[in-house]
Amino acid sequence: MRDVRAARREFGLGALGVLLAFGVCEAVSRAGIVRRSYLPPASEVLARAAELAGDAAFLDGIGATLRAWALGLGLACVIAVPLGLLLGSVPLVDSAVRAIVEFLRPLPSVALIPLVSLLLGSGSGTEVALIAYACVWPILFNTVYGLGETDPLAKETLRAFGFGRLAVLLRVELPGTAPFIAAGIRISAAVALILAVATELLAGFGEGLGIFIAQAGLATDGTRDVLAGVVWAGALGLVVNGVLVWGERRLFPWTPEHRGADGGGARR
Amino acid sequence: MLDLSAVGQYYGDHQVLHDITLTVPDGQLLCVVGPSGCGKSTLLRTIAGLLPAREGTVTIDDTPVTGVPDRLAVVFQDYGRSLLPWLTVRDNVALPLRRRGLGRAERRTEADRILDRVGLSGTARRHPWQLSGGMQQRVAIARALVCRPTLLLMDEPFGSLDAQTREDLEDLLLEVHRTDGTTIVFVTHDIDESVYVGDRVVVLTPGPASKIALDLPVRLPGERDQIATRGLPEFVALRAQVGRAVRGQFR
Question: Average per-residue pLDDT in chain A?
Answer: 87
Q: Is a pLDDT exceeding 60 seen at residue A66? A: yes
DSSP string, chain A: -HHHHHHHHHHHHHHHHHHHHHHHHHHHHHTTSS-TTTS--HHHHHHHHHHHTT-HHHHHHHHHHHHHHHHHHHHHHHHHHHHHHHHHH-HHHHHHHHHHHHHHTTS-GGGGHHHHHHHH-SSHHHHHHHHHHHHHHHHHHHHHHHHHHS-HHHHHHHHHTT--HHHHIIIIIHHHHHHHHHHHHHHHHHHHHHHHHHHHHHH-SSSSHHHHHHHHHHSTT-HHHHHHHHHHHHHHHHHHHHHHHHHHHHH-TTSHHHHTTTT-----
> B94-115, pLDDT tens digit by residue?
999 988 888 899 999 999 999 9
Q: How confident is the model at residue A263 (pLDDT cuts 50, 70, 90)?
A: very low
Nearest Cα residue to A124 out of A33, A52, A63 = A63
Given CA atoms B73, B78, B80, B81 in this order, what sign does their dihedral have?
Answer: negative
Contact B185, B175 (CB under 8 A): no
How far away is chain B from the Cα of A3, in angstroms, using its nearest Cα?
18
> In this prediction, what percent of chain A has a pLDDT beyond 70?
95
Locate all alpha helices (DSSP H) within chain B, ordered by sequence. 40-47, 79-82, 89-94, 104-117, 133-145, 163-180, 191-197, 228-231, 233-246
Residue B95 DSSP symbol: G
| Best residue of B50, B71, B72, B86 to probe chain A, by most A CBs closer than 10 Å | B86
Q: CB distance B70–A171 less than 8 Å?
A: no
Residue type, B84: L
* Integer CA distances (angstroms), B140 to A29, A64, A154, B75, in order: 66, 52, 12, 6
Q: Is a pLDDT exceeding 50 seen at residue A152? A: yes
User: Of residues A150 and A257, which shows the higher confidence score?
Assistant: A150
Contact A159, A152 (CB under 8 A): no
Q: CB distance B82–A153 less than 8 Å?
A: yes
User: Of residues B88 and B251, which shows the higher confidence score?
Assistant: B88
Measured between alpha carbons, how far is B139 from B132 in angstroms, rounded to an integer? 11
Name every residue whose Cβ is closer than 8 Å to that of residue A235 and which is 6 or more positions away in sequence: A49
Measured between alpha carbons, how far is B82 from B74 in angstroms, rounded to an integer? 10
Interface of B with A in 116-145 (CB under 8 A): 126-127, 129-133
| Number of residues assigned to chain B | 251
Name the residue facing B99 among A153, A162, A172 (closest C-beta): A162
Name the residue facing A154 among B68, B84, B147 (closest C-beta): B84
* Integer CA distances (angstroms), B51 to B63, B65, B133, B151, in order: 17, 10, 28, 17
Measured between alpha carbons, how far is A185 from A163 in angstroms, rounded to an integer? 30
What is the pLDDT, as a whole number, of residue A239? 94
Measured between alpha carbons, how far is A105 from A87 in angstroms, rounded to an integer? 15
Residue of B nearest to A162 (CA): B68
> Does the beta carbon of A54 lie under 8 angstroms from any beta carbon of chain B?
no
Domain assignments of chain A as residue spans, ordered by start: 1-34, 45-259
Q: CB distance A159–B50 less than 8 Å?
A: yes
Please list, residue by residue across B190-223, b when 16 or more beta carbons sit within 10 angstroms of its beta carbon and e when fewer do: bbebbbbbbbbbbbbbbbebbebbbebebeeeee
Measured between alpha carbons, how far is A48 from A249 in angstroms, rounded to an integer? 35
Q: CB distance A161–B131 less than 8 Å?
A: no
User: What architecture does CATH give domain A45-259?
Assistant: Orthogonal Bundle (1.10)
Q: How confident is the model at residue B251 (pLDDT cuts 50, 70, 90)?
A: very low
Q: CB distance B153–A259 less than 8 Å?
A: no
Measured between alpha carbons, how far is A84 from A81 in angstroms, rounded to an integer? 5
User: Of residues B151 and A35, which shows the higher confidence score?
Assistant: B151
> A18-46, pLDDT tens digit by residue?
889 888 888 888 888 877 777 888 888 88
